[in-house]
Amino acid sequence: MAQRRHNFISGAAVLAFAVAVTKVLGALYKIPLGNLLDKEGMAHFYAAYNIYSLLLVLSTAGLPLALSRLVSRAAAQGRLNAQRRIFRTALALLAVIGLLCSAVMCLFPQWLSGLLHDSLAAPAIRALGPAVLFVCLTSAIRGYTQGLGDMTPTAVSQMTESAGKLVIGLGLCLVLLHRGADSSLCAAGAIAGVTAGSLLALAVLAVFLLRRRRIVASDVPPARGIVLRELLTAGIPITLGAAGMSLITLLDQGLVMSTLQNTLGYTESAATALYGEYTFGMTLFALPPSFIYPVTVSLVPDIAAALARGDRAAAGRSTAAALKLTTLVALPAGAGLAVLAGPILHLLYPAVPATAEAAAYHLTILGIACIFVCLMVATNGVLQAYGKEYIPVVTLLCGGILKIVTNYLMVGDPATNVRGAPVSTLYCYALIVVLNLIAIARCVPERPSYFRLFGRPLLITAVMALAARSSYELLARVLPVRWAVLPAIAAAAVVYGVLVLALGAVTRADVIGLPKGDKIAGFLHLR
- CB 48, CB 125: distance < 8 Å: yes
The alpha carbons of the chain give a radius of gyration, in whole angstroms, of 23
pLDDT band at 516 (very low <50, low <70, confident <90, very high): very low
| pLDDT tens per residue across span 81-101 | 888 888 888 899 999 999 999
User: How many C-alpha atoms does 269 have within 13 Å on its Cβ side?
Assistant: 1
pTM attached to this predicted model = 0.71
pLDDT band at 1 (very low <50, low <70, confident <90, very high): very low
10 Å Cβ neighbour count for 497?
15
Lowest mean per-residue pLDDT among 294-303, 405-414, 489-498: 294-303
Question: Under 8 Å CB-to-CB from 52, ≥6 apart: which residues?
Answer: 105, 125, 128, 131, 132, 194
Q: What are the CB-based long-range contacts (under 8 Å, 24+) for 483-489?
A: 483/347, 484/343, 485/340, 485/343, 485/344, 485/346, 485/347, 486/347, 488/340, 488/343, 489/336, 489/340
When pLDDT is averaged across residues 406-415 and rounded to a whole number, the result is 89
Domain extents in the chain: 2-448, 450-527
Question: Under 8 Å CB-to-CB from 495, ≥6 apart: which residues?
Answer: 463, 464, 467
When pLDDT is averaged across residues 52-78 and rounded to a whole number, the result is 77
- CB 364, CB 505: distance < 8 Å: no
Find the DSSP H helices in 116-243. 122-147, 152-164, 170-178, 183-211, 224-242
| pLDDT tens per residue across span 204-247 | 998 888 877 666 566 666 778 888 888 888 777 767 666 666 77
Tell whether the model's pLDDT for residue 515 goes beyond 50: no
Residue bearing the bigger pLDDT, 281 or 194: 194
Give CA–CA dist 363/345, Å, rounded.
Answer: 9
Give CA–CA dist 10/272, Å, rounded.
Answer: 44
Tell whether the model's pLDDT for residue 403 goes beyond 60: yes
Tell whether the model's pLDDT for residue 318 goes beyond 60: yes
